[in-house]
């Protein structure tokens, strides 16, 4: 017998891989190479990311001494754009999930 109450269906919300991918911060990594001069790398980091010379030089030295540097972290679409810009000026750069 119905008592006049309407049952609300139970809806479980599940996070999809796509939602996780979008929500996860991504990092842009610049790798050392034997071609580009240190001054050039510093100039490019200043131009693309708007870094002050001191911060750009810090990243450049990390790239030179450690082989790579995480130069930026944030949303995936913007990270992909930065990697593309770095490739256009012949710097080796990759994109990774920031875990």
For residue 7, being part of any structural domain is answered with no
The CATH number of the domain where 86 resides is what?
3.30.1390.10
Put simply, whether the predicted model's pTM sits higher than 0.85 gets the answer: no
Instruction: Render pLDDT for 17-66 as a digit per residue (tens, 0 to 9).
Output: 555 555 689 999 999 999 999 999 999 999 999 999 999 999 999 999 99
For residue 90, being part of any structural domain is answered with yes
Range of the structural domain that residue 72 is part of: 34-97
Rounded Cα distance, 83 and 92, in Å:
9
Domain count, the chain: 1
For residue 11, being part of any structural domain is answered with no
**Which of left, alpha, beta for 33 (phi over 0: left; psi -120 to 50: alpha)?**
beta
Instruction: Render pLDDT for 79-97 as a digit per residue (tens, 0 to 9).
Output: 999 999 999 999 999 999 9
Helix (H) or strand (E) holding 26: strand 26-31
Q: Which of 79, 68, 63, 62 shows the shortest CA–CA distance to 27? A: 79
Rounded Cα distance, 4 and 95, in Å:
57
Query: What is the rounded end-to-end Cα distance, in angstroms, of the chain?
Result: 54
For residue 9, being part of any structural domain is answered with no
For residue 92, being part of any structural domain is answered with yes
């Amino acid at each position: 017998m119905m008592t006049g109450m309407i049952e609300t269906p139970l809806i479980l919300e599940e996070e999809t891989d796509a939602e996780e991918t979008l929500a996860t911060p991504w990092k842009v990594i610049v790798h050392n190479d034997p071609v580009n001069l240190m001054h050039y790398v510093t100039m490019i980091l200043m131009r693309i990311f708007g870094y002050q010379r001191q911060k750009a030089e810090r990243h450049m030295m990390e790239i030179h001494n450690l082989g790579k540097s995480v130069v930026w972290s944030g949303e995936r679409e913007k990270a992909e754009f930065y990697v593309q810009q770095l490739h256009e000026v012949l710097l080796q750069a990759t994109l990774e999930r920031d875990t």
